[in-house]
Amino acid sequence: MQYNPGWNNSSVNLLHVRAVGPSDTLHYIWSSIGAPAVLLVATENRSSALRVNWTQLLSPAPAGAIWIDPPSSVVYSTAVVFTKVFEYSEAETLEELFYPTYDLSDFAWDSINHTLNHTALTAEFTGIPATDPSGSFSNGSLAFRVTAYEASGRDGPLPSLLHTANSSKVEFVLAGVAPRGNSSRFALEVATVEETGVTQKLRSARSIDDEYTPTIFEMLSLVAESQNDSSALSFLQWKATAYGSQTPRREDSIQCRSHGLQAANWTLPASSIVHAYFGEGVGSTYTISAINISFGGEDGKVYQEKRYLSWSVLLGFGQPPKDTFSPLVISIMAVALGTPMVMLLVGSCVVLFAQRKRYSEYEPIN
């Protein structure tokens, strides 16, 4: 993990996570320059490196300021941008009342230098609006907590996402932010940038196994697929839940819904690392898709009571991890389904044996 490589000023944040494999390298470049975003770049070279022209990156025209050296080693690249947070509530007419949008490109972000943990491979981007007329952020903040992984495993805290070494996690957190309505709900807008020939598909998978995330039976994945061979190139994956506590329990669950994956007909915020890497082709040569993730129950009172919201999403390369039944669940199912079958077979054998023995003791009636 490198913080602002080649730059000694901590007034801006750029975090480079580099994972080296036997014959390739995966690059994650996180930044809060402009809207919070992450670049995912896969290369076929173990020694590929990130290059940053800081003067150009911080200028009004950052196109070309970020690249991977050697450029020929790049086999795939994409970006995920967290653009806006919406706050809304339902009026008595059941119409949704939207408050002024929080544009994350207009936030002031703290330095992540003091939150960077090279042992745990974690960092936290924390910000507040540059201007806050309503005073909602006077005692609160918005954060993106980043975690990288060195091996496969499962997170301990809920929602206990299954991960691989090819993935990272980001946790979206609202803490202490005063809602502007009596039943406010929040939604996060997430945009993706893909090369030509790559399409985004939203998948939903349901399972009867909720061992690791109690009462939650749905997993959602936003998968980037190649149009040529339908192979998965990258993904975002999350459970259909958020939580209203720093130490989440089952009862802290907050309803989470995804709304309308669609091609975005707007441009991304200026001066972002996305423009710095992809150049001026964003929106033409590269396609932008967007999806809204909303949080809150039917009445929206969960956040109102606790003033805390956290939502975790896994992102990475290739196919998203697939949960399978654990040995414990398989054992329970085997006992639950197998015991009646064994009892039925044993009972049938006993009845047949008893009937045969009974009639063998008597002579046939003439």
The token duo for 99 is 């408050």
Bridge partners of residue 124, in order along the sequence: 145
- Rg, the chain, Cα only: 26
Q: How far apart are CA 163 and CA 121, in angstroms?
A: 14
Considering the entire predicted model, what is its pTM? 0.89
Do β-strands 66-69 and 153-154 pair in parallel, antiparallel, or remain unpaired? Answer: unpaired
The token duo for 190 is 């997430």
Per DSSP, the three-state class of 190 is: strand
Q: How far apart are CA 76 and CA 233, in angstroms?
A: 8
> Are 23 and 57 within 8 A, CB to CB?
no
Q: What is the structure's pLDDT at 140?
A: 97
The helix (run of H) or strand (run of E) holding residue 162 is strand 162-163
Bridge partners of residue 128, in order along the sequence: 108
The number of helix segments (H) and strand segments (E) in the chain equals 4, 23
Tell me which DSSP letter residue 148 carries: E
Mean pLDDT, 10 residues at a time, the chain of 366 residues? 95 96 96 96 97 95 95 97 92 76 96 96 97 95 97 94 96 96 90 92 91 93 92 96 93 90 77 88 84 78 85 97 70 68 82 67 64
The type of residue at 159 is: P
Count other Cβ atoms within 10 Å, centred on residue 235. Answer: 25
The token duo for 129 is 């609006």
Q: What is the structure's pLDDT at 343?
A: 81
Q: What share of the chain is helix, strand, coil (3-state, %, to 5)?
A: 15, 45, 40
